[in-house]
Amino acid sequence: MNPILEVRDLHVHFDTVDGTVHAVNGVSLDLFAGETLGVVGESGSGKSVSMMSLLRLIPQPPGRIVSGSARFRPASGDLDLLSLGKREMAAIRGNRIGFIFQDPMSSLNPLLTIGDQIRESIEQHTSKRDAQARRRAIQLLDQVGIPDPEARYRNYPHQFSGGMRQRVMIAIAIACDPDIVIADEPTTALDVTVQAQIVDLMNRLSADLGIAVIWISHDLGVVAGIAHHLLVMYGGTVVEYGAVDQLYAHPRHPYTIGLLGALPKLHVNEDELVNISGTPPSLFSPPQQCPFEPRCPWAFETCLNSQPPLFDISPDTGSRHASACWYDLDRDKPRASGQPVAEWDKEDATL
């Protein structure tokens, strides 16, 4: 099965007065139809910049997509998102690929009714007009769990709670039956109960509608409940990738191990939370070593001299697992040269 989205070696820089910020340094990923890929990592690790670059939503300048490819395979074709023209991109964005951001208030127009905003999006991307577009908008409000959708259609954003506004954003994101939805911290601004409701809603919609979801979060607890695969980012690179169960049971990158150790546990005092000591790498110079080396308990000489590629450490079960670490934690020794580097372009790739 071919992935619906195949990103290879994405590099994104920002030119600032202080120098060039190397925000994304060789991100690759595969997203399969209908699956949810969780993207986790601490603040500044490049989650938003890499995913927003795919939709060309980063400010350019100062942002610059330096290199890479992003092969998107909807039913209607096969194209590289990074080399599309502006108009071609506009036809994909919000149509074949929907997106949801953390703060629905900044994405919604306060002066337009909720219904008109959904209808506008439908009219922009489909042949539906007027009454037909209105009917579709009301159907969408119903689908995302807004009670009394006909009356709510006429409300303004300020008349909705945060959770309801996020439901509206989801309605807009799925309005054109997209292949992919990119959700950037969609529940971070919501309280815990509402978070759980939004997670449930997204789970149900992606399963019912067969939408592939990229779910960005810094909260491992949230993505555990929604993702099939996880991509762990650090310093603008992918440090670990794998099926959620495998990755939680058997994390193999020291950073992921740290992150999992840092998960709040029930019945544990807040003060006892494990934190990864040290600070994230500076992104002003291109990484010539492992970005996690200064904070890594297993670091050795090789880690200082070169950036590790993603090694294929898939278990025999056929699920994919990869770690960008020079140290082989399974054997408790440095990785042998010649160990396979993750090469996911194989025909027999499975989920």
Chain residues binding ligand ATP by CB under 6 A are: 14, 16, 21, 23, 41, 43-49, 59, 62, 218, 283
187 is an interface residue for Mg ion by CB under 5 A = no
Name which of 46 and 254 has its Cβ closer to ligand ATP. Answer: 46
Shortest Cβ distance from residue 48 to Mg ion (Å)? Answer: 3
Residue ranges of alpha helices (H) inside the chain are 47-54, 86-92, 104-107, 114-125, 130-143, 149-152, 162-174, 192-209, 220-224, 244-249, 254-261, 301-305
Instruction: Return the one option of Mg ion, ligand ATP, none that residue 21 interacts with (CB less than 5 to 8 A, by type).
Output: ligand ATP
Count the site residues for Mg ion by CB under 5 A.
1
Q: Are 206 and 144 in contact (CB under 8 A)?
A: no
Shortest Cβ distance from residue 219 to ligand ATP (Å)? Answer: 10
Name the one residue in this structure whose structure tokens are 């080396």: 293
Q: Which residue among 25, 36, 45, 48 contacts Mg ion (CB under 5 A)?
A: 48
Question: Could you tell me which stretch among 42-50, 217-225, 264-272, 299-307 binds Mg ion (CB under 5 A)?
Answer: 42-50
Q: Which residues contact 179 (CB under 8 A, 6 or more apart)?
A: 4, 33, 72, 74, 75, 96, 97, 211, 212
Name which of 115 and 291 has its Cβ closer to ligand ATP. Answer: 291
Q: Are 137 and 122 in contact (CB under 8 A)?
A: yes
Residue 7 φ/ψ, nearest 5 degrees: -100, 135
Instruction: Return the one option of ligand ATP, Mg ion, none that residue 283 interacts with (CB less than 5 to 8 A, by type).
Output: ligand ATP
Name which of 59 and 85 has its Cβ closer to ligand ATP. Answer: 59
Residue nearest Mg ion, CB atom distance: 48
Shortest Cβ distance from residue 222 to ligand ATP (Å)? Answer: 13
Name which of 181 and 342 has its Cβ closer to Mg ion. Answer: 181
DSSP string, 142-209: HHTT-SSHHHHTT--GGGS-HHHHHHHHHHHHHTT--SEEEEESTTTTS-HHHHHHHHHHHHHHHHHH
Name which of 103 and 142 has its Cβ closer to ligand ATP. Answer: 103
d(CA 77, CA 72): 8
Shortest Cβ distance from residue 154 to ligand ATP (Å)? Answer: 34
Structure tokens at 347: 């025909």
Structure tokens at 314: 């898939």
Residue 129 φ/ψ, nearest 5 degrees: -135, 165
Instruction: Return the one option of ligand ATP, Mg ion, none that residue 46 interacts with (CB less than 5 to 8 A, by type).
Output: ligand ATP
Name which of 182 and 296 has its Cβ closer to ligand ATP. Answer: 182
Shortest Cβ distance from residue 118 to ligand ATP (Å)? Answer: 27
Q: Which residues here bind Mg ion, judged by CB under 5 A?
A: 48
